[in-house]
Structure 1
Amino acid sequence: MSSSRRLSITERDDQAVDLPEKDLHHLASFEEITVSYAGDGQPRVSVSNHVGVIGLPSGNILEIRPKASCNLLHYLAYVGDINDELVRGTDAAVSMGDSFVDLVARLYLDELDTILKRGLNREYLVQESSEKHLRGQLDLQRQLQRQGVAPKKFECRYDELSTETVLNKILLDGLHRLRPLVTTSAIRSDVNRFYSRLQQYVSHERMSVRDIESVSLTRLDEYYADALELAKLIFKQIFVADLGGHDRRVQSLLIDMETIFERLVYRAVRNIVSKESYEVKDGSIGHLVQTESDRGLLQMYPDFWVVNKSNDIVFVGDAKWKTGTDPSRNDLYQIAAYQAKYGTPGMLVYPDLDSEMKDTYTYETPDGTTAGRGELQATELQTGDIDAYSTFKETVEATLRKQLPGELTSTTAAI
Structure 2
Amino acid sequence: MKPSYTLREWETLPHGDVEGCISPHMASRLVALAKTSPFAGRGGNGVLEDRRHELRARGVVGVLATQDCNLEILPKIDIALGEGAERQNAAIRKRLVHMLAVALDLKIETGRITELDWQRETLLEILIRIFCDKLTETLRRGIPRRYLGHEDDLSTLRGTLNVPRQFTRHAANPARLACRFDDLSEDIALNRITKAAVSHLFKISRNATNQQRLRELAFVYADITDVPAPALNWAEVVIDRTNRAWQDLFGMAQLFLRNQYQTTSGGSGQGSALLFEMSALFEEYVGRLVLRALAGTEFRVTLQGGRLFCLTSLEDARAVFQTRPDILIWRAGQVTHVIDTKWKRISSRIDDPKQGVSQGDVYQMMAYAHLYKAPRLTLLYPHYEGLGGNEGIQAKFQITGQQTVIETASVDVANGKDLVARLRNALFLTTTEERLAF
TM-score by length of 2: 0.65
Using the TM superposition, give the Cα deviation of residue 204 of structure 1 relative to its aligned residue in structure 2, in angstroms.
4.4
Mapped contact 1:92–1:103 kept (Cα < 8 A): no
The number of aligned residues is 364
| 1:175, distance to aligned residue in structure 2 (A) | 1.7
Look up the match of 1:349. 380
- Equivalent residue, structure 1, for 2:246: 224
What secondary structure is seen at the aligned counterpart in 1 of 2:328? strand
Matched, 1:27 2:34: yes
Residues 1:12 and 2:13 are matched in the alignment: no
Q: Structure 1 residues 270 and 371 mapped into 2: Cα distance closer, same or farther (>3 Å)?
A: farther
- Provide Cα deviations, 1:160-192, integer angstroms capped at 9, x if missing partner: 987555443332321222224446443344334
CA contact (8 A) 1:51 1:257 kept: yes
Q: 2:99 aligns with which of 40, 62, 75?
A: 75
CA contact (8 A) 1:209 1:232 kept: no
Give the aligned partner of residue 278 of structure 2: 257
C-alpha root-mean-square deviation of aligned residues, in Å? 4.6
TM-aligned CA deviation for residue 67 of structure 1: 1.5
Match of 1:52 in 2: 62
2:379 partner letter: L
Secondary structure of the residue that 1:176 maps to in structure 2? helix
**1:249-297 CA distances to partner (integer Å, 9 max, x unpaired)?**
7322112221121123233334444877544344456566789689967
Q: Deviations over 1:323-368 (max 9, x none)?
A: 3554423066346625764472332222242473555434379xxx
What residue number does 1:333 align with? Answer: 362
Specify the alignment match of 1:266 in structure 2.
287
Contact 1:360 1:375 in 2 (8 A): no
Tell me if the contact between 1:359 and 1:377 (Cα under 8 Å) persists in the aligned partners: yes
Unaligned stretches of 5+ residues in structure 1: 129-133, 138-157
Contact 1:74 1:87 in 2 (8 A): no
* 1:225 shift after superposition: 3.5
Q: 1:362 & 1:220 partners in 2: Cα distance?
A: 51
State which drifts further: 5-14 or 227-236.
5-14
Verify the 8 A CA contact 2:30 2:64 in the aligned structure 1: no
Relative to structure 1, the CA distance from residue 122 to residue 28 in structure 2 (aligned partners, 3 Å threshold; closer, same or farther) is: closer
Equivalent of residue 361 in structure 1, options 381, 395, 404: 395
* Native 8 Å contact 2:100 2:281 kept in 1: yes
Q: Distance in 1 between the 2:279 and 2:97 partners? A: 15
The answer to whether the Cα contact below 8 Å between 1:71 and 1:92 also exists between their aligned partners in 2 is no
Indicate which of 211, 217, 238 corresponds to 2:233: 211
Match for residue 424 of structure 2 among 396, 400, 404:
400
**Of 389, 399, 402, the match for 1:372:** 402
Residue 11 of structure 1, CA deviation: 2.6
- In the aligned structure 2, how far is the partner of 1:123 from the partner of 1:288? 49
Contact 2:339-2:378 at 8 Å conserved across structures: yes
Structure with more contact order per residue of length (Cα contacts < 8 Å, sep ≥ 6)? 1
Render the CA deviation track for 1:205-258: whole Å, top value 9, x for unaligned.
Answer: 424585343134676655433322221221123323432xxxx57322112221
Which residue identity lines up with residue 5 of structure 1 in the other structure?
P
Quote the Cα distance in structure 2 between the aligned partners of 1:404 and 1:211: 42
Runs of at least 5 residues in structure 2 that lack an aligned partner in the other structure = 16-22, 78-91, 158-180, 349-354
Matched ranges for 1:298-309 at <5 A: 300-309=323-332
Following superposition, the deviation at residue 118 of structure 1 comes to 3.1
Superposed CA offset, 1:65-96 (max 9, x none): 112247233323333x2433x34978899989
Aligned 1:14-413 pairs, distance under 5 A: 14-17=12-15, 18-20=23-25, 21-33=28-40, 34=45, 36-38=49-51, 41-48=52-59, 50-56=60-66, 58-68=67-77, 69=92, 71-79=95-103, 81-84=104-107, 86-87=108-109, 99-121=122-144, 165-182=188-205, 184-195=207-218, 197-198=219-220, 200-202=222-224, 204-208=226-230, 210-216=232-238, 222-237=244-259, 238-243=263-268, 248=269, 250-273=271-294, 277-281=298-302, 282-283=304-305, 286=308, 300-309=323-332, 311=334, 313-323=335-345, 325-326=347-348, 327-330=355-358, 333-334=362-363, 337-338=366-367, 341=370, 342=373, 344-354=375-385, 356=388, 358-363=392-397, 371-386=401-416, 391=417, 394-404=418-428, 406=430
- The 1:220–1:384 alpha-carbon spacing in structure 2 relative to 1, beyond 3 Å, is same
Is 1:274–1:410's contact at 8 Å kept on the other side of the alignment?
no
Aligned to 1:140: none
Q: Is the 8 A contact 1:351 1:382 kept in 2?
A: yes
Q: In structure 1, what is the equivalent of residue 81 of structure 2?
A: none
| Compared CA separation, residues 256 and 89, structure 1 to 2 (3 A) | same
Separation of aligned partners in 2, 1:397 and 1:378: 19
Asked if the contact 1:55–1:181 (Cα under 8 Å) also holds between the matched residues in 2, the reply is yes
User: In the alignment, is the contact (CA less than 8 A) between 2:196 and 2:226 conserved in 1?
Assistant: yes
Contact 2:305–2:328 under 8 Å retained in 1: no
Distance in 1 (alpha carbons) for counterparts of 2:332 and 2:310: 24
